Amino acid sequence: MLWKAYRAAVLAVMFVVVLAPALYIVGYTLANYKEILVDTFSHEVVGRGYLDLMLRALSLSLRLGLAVVLVDLVLGVPLAYVVARGKLKPSWLVEDVITLPLVVPTSAFGFAILLTWSSPGGLLQLLGLGRISQQHLVPLFNVPLLLLLTHVALTLPYVIRPLTAVLRSMGSTYEVISRSLKASPLTTFRRITVPLSIPAIVSSLVLALTRSLGETGATMIVAGVSMTASVAIVRLFYDMKLGLASLLATMLIAAALMLVLPAEFLSKKLLVTRRYKERRLETRLSRIERKISAVKHLALARDVTLYITLLLVIVAPLLFIFKNLPEYWYADPYSGKVEGGILYQVFGPTGYFSSIIRATLNSIVIAGLSTLAALYISILIFTAIRNSKLEYPIRALIRVPLIVPTSALGLSALLLFGEKGLGIATPSIWLTTIVHTSFSVPIIFETLMSTYETLNIEDFEETARTLGATAYDALETVTLPLLKRGIVAGSLLAFTHSLGETGATIIVMGKDVTVPVLVVHMAEALAVPAALFTSAYLLLIAVVLLVLTRKISR
């Protein structure tokens, strides 16, 4: 009886903190549909103008998300394969470079992309090739090229890291057998490695798609006049159009679920069970692949291509932050005005330095409190559902905040806990902490469960129980200590994600501005030197966190 009460209490906490903030906005939209429909279809000033704006923003988000998935598939699968097989040296450095976009706040990364590809002193300008305009469109998908570059850089780790882990755990036994049967490396990759990895590839691409649909911070900086759905939600919120913002958020959530759920279902069904049948096309493909594999220095060309890809997509933007830092230190390098230098804008009489310190403290407090709360809730959920019939349904439900775009999550939490809902929190550091806890719980919980399953801890627990330990004693003295590495790794992931989050934060923060949001405000105010300094500062913090993560995970 006591155990049932404990489980019910834990699930109630999970519903209030994790699920309700993500899904409340759908109920709010349905409850206020009359007012929303009037504003959408027959507004007294703009008529159907808001509807057109929302449809354009949603269309851009979906086209951008699909383009990102396609590019991530083409780049991510080969990169994951060569990293998993240790073909790119030094492997530890390559993995750290791939991880950087996960720990660098997105607004800082967006500013770095803008500096590298679109500024007068950018990479293309140095090579005499001009620069990429914010309105330069990619054919077929009709999305801005800068936006595509930004989203690819931010989503590529979500494809490479999970797929690398799967390929490593799968080993190379099947590939060795295939090669011993005289199959070429390309044929082995196409007929053995890729089919065995299809569920992992689909799941990774789903993560990349949801990350792209919810990206806000970097998008606000590089998008120019283009507006994705996540950014449009923020704009409508600041225009006090809560009904329209909630409708667009509901539409974005529905679109994400319609894309994600079928893909997740298919990823569980796509198993390689069919027998091989000789076909003419297959024979021709094998011959072509054998000829290509026989080309001299093909592996070198592949590795050089992948190195250049990482260099251009991830490394170059981050290096250009530090390249521009000394140029803007004393004055604007183009006008020579002292007011356009970092010293004046950051450390001057009306500079941003005090704002940066306050925002840093806010970010650390929010990230720290939300990570601790998420860790505690994750452990409670873990103890309540492991090895029970509820495990798989709860694991599916707990992923919902990861699917819901962050700006929609922030608006939903504001409507639920704010004046229009329960009235227990106003936009402030505390509401921001609640929202960050909501999306941090799935990150820590999934890491916790994966570690538990990988280490086969059940055997150790049973041994402890046979020696007279109670269930609680076994949990405290055996299970949790063995899960320590997974707990720390998940907590660091949640902390860095919280530290760099922009979309939800900008809606619920009130006056308690965080550092990533401050970078967005600087960019909008055209305070380029201040944004440059803050981005470099955030990058240094990210590198420190990355080093800590690597040391702890050893």
DSSP string computed for 196-233: HHHHHHHHHHHHHHHHHHH--HHHHHH-TT---HHHHH
CA 19 vs CA 24, 270, 374, 436, 497: distances in Å = 8, 29, 13, 13, 19
Is there a single domain that holds both residue 8 and residue 54?
A: no
Task: Looking at the structure, tell me whether residues 182 and 266 fall in a common domain.
Answer: yes
φ, ψ of residue 216 in degrees (nearest 5): -125, -50
Query: Scanning the structure block, which residue is given the tokens 């970097």?
Result: 218
Same-domain pairing of 187 and 316: yes
Could you report how far apart the first and last alpha carbons of the chain are, in Å?
Answer: 42
Q: Name residues whose C-beta falls within 8 Å of residue 184's C-beta, 6 or more positions apart in sequence.
A: 286, 289, 290, 292, 293, 294
Residue 50 and residue 57: Cα distance in Å, rounded? Answer: 11
Encoded amino acid at 268, one letter: K
Beta strand 137-138 pairing with 143-144: antiparallel
Residue 314: partners with Cβ closer than 8 Å, 6 or more residues away: 97, 98, 100, 101, 153, 156
pLDDT of the residue at 25: 86
Contact 539, 524 (CB under 8 A): no
Instruction: Centre a 10 Å sphere on the Cβ of residue 486 and count the other Cβ atoms it contains.
Output: 20
Residue 500 included in any domain: yes
**Exposed, middle or buried by CB within 10 Å (0-12, 13-18, 19+), for 179?**
middle
Number of domains composing the chain:
2
Phi, psi of 427, deg, nearest 5? -55, 115
Residue ending a domain, choose from 324, 339, 372: 324
Q: Is residue 343 part of a domain?
A: no
Question: Could you tell me if 469 and 477 are in contact, meaning their C-beta atoms sit under 8 angstroms apart?
Answer: yes
Domain contains 536: no
Domain identity same for 223 and 112: yes
Amino acid identity of residue 12, one-letter, is A
CA-CA distance, 254 to 248, in Å (whole number)? 10
**In this structure, is residue 331 part of a structural domain?**
no
Would you put residue 425 in left (φ > 0), alpha (ψ -120 to 50) or beta? beta
Q: Is residue 143 part of a domain?
A: yes
Q: What is the CA radius of gyration of the chain?
A: 25
- State whether 12 and 44 are in the same domain: no
C-beta atoms surrounding 459 within 10 Å: 9
Domain range holding 466?
A: 1-26+353-526
Residues 216 and 308 in one domain: yes
| Predicted local confidence at residue 487, as pLDDT | 79
Residue 360, in any domain of the structure: yes
Residue 547: inside a domain, yes or no?
no
How far is residue 212's CA from residue 219's CA, in Å, rounded to a whole number?
A: 10
Same domain? For 13 and 158 the reply is no
Cα 370 from Cα 498, distance rounded (Å): 8
Pair 358, 306 in one domain: no
238 near 174, Cβ under 8 Å? Answer: no
Rounded to whole angstroms, how far apart are CA atoms 372 and 367? Answer: 9
Q: Let me know whether 381 and 491 are in one domain.
A: yes
Cα 265 to chain center, whole Å? 21
State the CATH number of the domain containing residue 146.
1.10.3720.10
> How many residues are recorded in the chain?
554
Q: Mutual orientation of helices 91-103 and 484-500 as an angle, nearest 10°? A: 50
Q: Indicate whether 320 and 359 sit together in one domain.
A: no
Instruction: Examine the domain organization and report whether 405 and 487 are in the same domain.
Output: yes
Does 128 fall in a domain? yes
Count of CA atoms in the C-beta half-sphere (13 A) of 316: 20
Provide block-wise average pLDDT over 10 residues at a time, the chain (554 residues).
Answer: 80 86 85 80 70 88 92 87 77 80 82 84 76 81 89 87 73 66 68 72 81 85 84 85 85 82 66 54 68 68 82 86 85 82 84 88 91 91 80 78 82 85 83 90 80 68 72 73 76 81 86 88 84 86 76 62
Tell me if the pTM is above 0.85.
Answer: no
Omega prior to 326 cis, within 30 of 0: no
Q: How far apart are CA 75 and CA 69, in angstroms?
A: 10
Report the 10 Å Cβ neighbour count for 218.
Answer: 31
Distance (Å, rounded) from C-alpha 34 to C-alpha 127? 56
d(CA 169, CA 150): 30
Residues 279 and 396 in one domain: no
What distance lies between CA 416 and its chain's CA centroid?
24
